[in-house]
Amino acid sequence: MRALVVHQVGPGVAVQDMGRPGFLAKGLTRGGAADLRAVYEGAALLRQSADLAVLEMVGTGGTFEAKEPLRIALTGAAMTVAVDGETVAWNASHMMPAGAKLVIGPSRDGTYGYLHVGGGFDTDAVLGARATHQSVGLGDLVSAGMILPVGPDKGRDVGMTLARDPRFSGGDLRIVPSMQTEDFEPTIRDRFEETAFRRDPRANRQGVRLDSDGDGFSNPKQLSIVSEVIVPGDIQITGDGTPFVLMAECQTTGGYPRIGTVLPCDLPRVAQAPAGAPLRFTFVSLAEGAAIQARADADLRRMGQSVTPLVRDPHDIKDLLSYQLVGGVVSATDTPLDEG
Amino acid sequence: MSEQQKFEPKIRSVGLNGVLVTFGEKATDAANRAAIAFRTAVDTQHWAEVEESSSTLVSAFFRVDLAAHRFDKIHDRMQGVLAEQDWANARLPSGRTLWTIPAVFGSDRAPQLAEAAEAAGLSQAAALQELTTARLRVLTLGFAPGQPYLGTLGEHWDIPRQVGLSPNVPAGALVAAVRQICLFAKDTPTGWRHVGQSAFHCFRPKGGTPFPLSPGDEVQFTDISAKELARIEAHNDEGAGAAIREVLE
pLDDT in tens, B110-122: 999 999 999 999 9
Of residues B196 and A137, more confidence is placed in B196
pTM of this structure: 0.92
pLDDT for the residue A328: 38
Please state the domain extents for chain B: 2-89, 97-247
Residue A333: pLDDT above 60? no
From A22, A27, A262, residue closest to B142, measured CB to CB: A27
State ipTM. Answer: 0.94
* Second-level CATH architecture of B97-247: Beta Barrel (2.40)
Is residue A263 within 8 Å of residue A225, measured between CB atoms? no
Handedness of CA A293, A297, A300, A306 (dihedral sign): negative
Taking the CA of residue B105 and the nearest CA in chain A, the distance in Å comes to 26
**Nearest Cβ partner for B57 among A25, A227, A251:** A227
Mean pLDDT computed over every residue of chain B: 95
pLDDT band at A313 (very low <50, low <70, confident <90, very high): low
Q: Nearest chain A Cα to B28, which residue?
A: A226
**Chain B nearest C-alpha distance from A120 (Å):** 23
User: What would the CATH number be for the domain defined by A171-285?
Assistant: 2.40.100.10
Residues of A in contact with B140 (CB under 8 A): 27, 227, 253
Within 8 A of B68 by CB-CB distance, chain A residues are 294, 297
**pLDDT tens digits along A141-152:** 999 999 999 999
* pLDDT value at residue B229: 98
pLDDT for residue A314: 55
Q: What is the pLDDT of residues A55-71, one digit of tens each?
A: 999 999 999 999 999 99
- CATH, domain B2-89, list 1.10.645.10, 3.40.640.10, 3.30.1360.40, 3.90.850.10: 3.30.1360.40
Q: Please check the confidence at residue B153 and state whether its pLDDT lies above 50.
A: yes
Give the pairing of strands A278-283 and A171-176: parallel
How far apart are the C-alpha atoms of B22 and A310, rounded to whole Å? 53
Helix axes B71-82 and B29-43, enclosed angle (nearest 10): 110
Least confident of A185-189, A273-277, A308-312, B215-219: A308-312
Provide CB contacts within 8 A for B61, sequence distance 6+: A24, A229, B14, B18, B19, B20, B21, B39, B53, B54, B55
Q: Could A229 and B59 be called an inter-chain contact, meaning their C-beta atoms sit closer than 8 Å?
A: yes
Closest Cβ opposite residue A176 in set B15, B26, B203: B15
- B5 band by pLDDT with thresholds 50, 70 and 90: low
Instruction: Nearest chain B residue to A254 by CA: give it.
Output: B143
In the predicted structure, residue A220 carries a pLDDT above the cut 90: no
Query: Residue B16 and residue A252: Cβ atoms within 8 Å?
Result: no
C-alpha span between B61 and B38 (Å, rounded): 10
* Confidence label for A323 from pLDDT (cuts 50, 70 and 90): very low
Q: Where in chain A is the domain with CATH 2.40.100.10?
A: 171-285
- pLDDT tens profile B208-229: 899 999 999 999 999 999 999 9
Query: Which pLDDT does position B160 carry in this prediction?
Result: 85
Name the band, by pLDDT with cuts 50, 70 and 90, for residue A154: very high
Residue-wise pLDDT tens digits, B21-59: 999 998 999 999 999 999 999 999 999 999 999 999 999
Are A27 and B141 within 8 A, CB to CB?
A: yes
User: How many distinct helices (H) and strands (E) make up chain B?
Assistant: 6, 14
Query: What average pLDDT does chain A have?
Result: 91
Average pLDDT of span A224-240: 90
pLDDT at A208: 97
Residue percentage of chain A with pLDDT more than 70: 90
For residue A205, how many other CB atoms are within 10 A of its CB?
A: 24
B84, B90 contact by CB (below 8 A): no
pLDDT digits (tens, 9 = 90+) for B63-76: 999 999 999 999 99
Residue B140, strand partner residues:
B149
Specify the pLDDT at position A146.
98
CB-nearest to A25 from B16, B53, B58 is: B53
